[in-house]
Amino acid sequence: MPKPLKTDQSKKLFQAAQKHLVGGVNSPVRAFKGVGGTPLFFSRGKGPYLIDVDGNRYLDLVGSWGPLILGHADTTVLNLVRRTIRKGLTFGAPSPLETQLAVQVKKAFPSVEKIRFVSSGTEAVLSVLRLARAATQKKRIIKFNGCYHGHGDSLLVAAGSGAATLGLPDSPGVPEEFASLTLSLPYNDLGAVESAFSKYSDIAAVIVEPVAGNMGLVPPKPGFLKGLRDLTAKNQALLLFDEVMTGFRVAFGGAQELYGIKPDLTTLGKVIGGGMPVGAYGGRQELMSQVAPEGPVYQAGTLSGNPVAMAAGIATLKKLAEPSFYEKLGGSAAFVEEGVRRAVQKTGAPVVFQRVGSMATLFFCPHSIENYEQAKNSDRKKYAAFFWAMAQRGVYIPPSQFEAWFFSAALTQENLKKIVKAIGESLNEALEAN
């Protein structure tokens, strides 16, 4: 058995934080409600490692929820950011770096003919929905249960029953009138989408995580994305890919490259900021030309395209474009996947490991997960025990069953072997937990 984690400093910091920050954190998942115990406070990161305030060192499979695809404190990224910071943090005016990053993104995403940078994924989604409604002159949006698109009012909607259920607010403060314009359907269920279109003639768009990452990693079933493309085209609606997570993650050109589907509009974030706050949305010229100042659809942001975020993104995407980058990164994740398979065979654990590219999730469930309802039925108590067992062995995974793991290019073969060993031992420990 590994030694218990030292957490004295994390506990002290959490107690102090709760006096000043809501829940002691600035984003809910950080409160560790999904796994129990005291949140770990981190002081630094380097390469594949995170180091907490008590001096514990972990191989990081969270990567700040995706953007740190190169690992922590990558030298190339930091050097360009340092050079940029010396010239100023933000101008609130155009800078050459905005165009440079835009060109890089467009090379990877042929569906994006014009792009607008913003400061977060939530902001990108809110903006793209406004554009979709304006372009189609329709008002309803289809989303999928378990797909998270930021905390905008119309998207904080819980699922109802039936094939096409009008949404109900999933958070106090969201008027029912807002939520009623959102249809929340089961992920991977084309029949539900078809039924919705047959019932409502005012559907402006379907927004989807092409690979779901916010109910844990759930891949699209064969034909699901193609079916969405066909149904939206048939019904004069737009197809929106939320690739805030999957963009530059599952492939250089995101899920749309991986699955060969061309959406009308795309949202991006995470990786394109190289660890700095950034988001973006883009698509066909005739759609994007409706955004101000070219068109009447208003959207603005003081820090949009700020030079520091652009510099981090430029340096990151340049490295991602190197030959064999994704082959090597995917190989790392595949190595761990094979290790899980062997551990499951040995232990008989009712576990499934789902992976697309460098994103993955381990579910305590005996069958594959295809939608949010199935994800919710996985054994979260065993996942919580597994989380702490992994942490004790120096591997940091998401403190929630409903979040994806993210592999980084900084992980070495020795790191990967340690992760596989930790998974095998932690599965045994989790299976013994009540």
Any catalytic annotation for residue 148?
yes
Instruction: Tell me the two tokens of residue 5.
Output: 């984690």
Q: Which residues contact 238 (CB under 8 A, 6 or more apart)?
A: 132, 135, 136, 204, 205, 206, 232, 264, 265, 287
Any catalytic annotation for residue 381?
no
* Helix H or strand E segment including 15: helix 8-17
CA distance 237 to 222: 22
Catalytic site residue from 138, 143, 270, 382: 270
CA distance 69 to 271: 7
Instruction: Tell me the two tokens of residue 282.
Output: 């883009």
Instruction: Tell me the two tokens of residue 96.
Output: 């050459």
* Helix H or strand E segment including 428: helix 413-432
* Helix H or strand E segment including 276: none
From the number of C-beta atoms within 10 Å of its C-beta (0-12, 13-18, 19+), residue 194 rates as middle
* Residue matched to tokens 């999933």: 170
Left (φ > 0), alpha (ψ -120 to 50) or beta: where does 73 sit? left
Give the count of beta carbons closer than 10 Å to the beta carbon of residue 262: 15
Catalytic site residue from 60, 74, 138, 148: 148
In 3D space, the residue among 161, 167, 160, 234 whose CA is nearest the CA of residue 194 turns out to be 234
CA distance 110 to 216: 28
Catalytic site residue from 52, 189, 242, 379: 242
Give the count of beta carbons closer than 10 Å to the beta carbon of residue 176: 10
Instruction: Report long-range pairs for 110-113 (Cβ below 8 Å, ≥24 apart).
Output: 110/253, 110/262, 111/256, 111/262, 111/263, 111/264, 111/266, 111/282, 111/283, 111/284, 112/266, 112/282, 112/283, 113/282, 113/283, 113/284, 113/285, 113/288
Q: Which residues contact 19 (CB under 8 A, 6 or more apart)?
A: none
Could you tell me the CA-to-CA distances from 18 to 6, 30, 78 in Å, in that order?
20, 13, 32
Any catalytic annotation for residue 49?
no
Active site residues: 148, 242, 270
